[in-house]
Amino acid sequence: MTRSVDDLRRAGRHESRILAALRSAGPRGCTNTELWTICHAVNSRVSDLRKLGHSITMEREGKGVFRYRLVLPRTKGASPDWFERESGKPRPAQPTTGFGPLFQGDR
């Protein structure tokens, strides 16, 4: 079955609204029941968004409820080090002398 121009426009609007909802929800994500306020074809619209290159995870919460989360790509310049990302500070320098009591006799 081919989709009409109106169907394609409506699906595009639904995709952009679902994407906006997932972005604003952040790491909490949105359940399918929350996204039903936008449209009832949530799974199809999420599939369309994935085909457009968006990374969206889905977790079953039980009793027909699923949670969708948008996985945002790491921004350029963001540190891969969790300490630096979370604290906003550089990781403290590690002591370079001595390896602690476990390796005292190995030198």
- Residue 16: CB atoms within 10 A of its CB come to 13
Within the chain, residue ranges assigned H as helices are 5-25, 32-35, 42-51, 82-87
Rounded CA-CA distance 20/37 in Å is 13
Q: Can you give the residue ranges of every domain in the chain?
A: 5-71
pLDDT tens across 40-81, in order?
889 999 998 899 888 999 999 999 999 999 997 655 556 677
State the number of CA atoms in the 13 A half-sphere of 67 facing the CB.
Answer: 11
pTM of structure: 0.62
| pLDDT mean over 18-45 | 92
Residue 14 identity: H
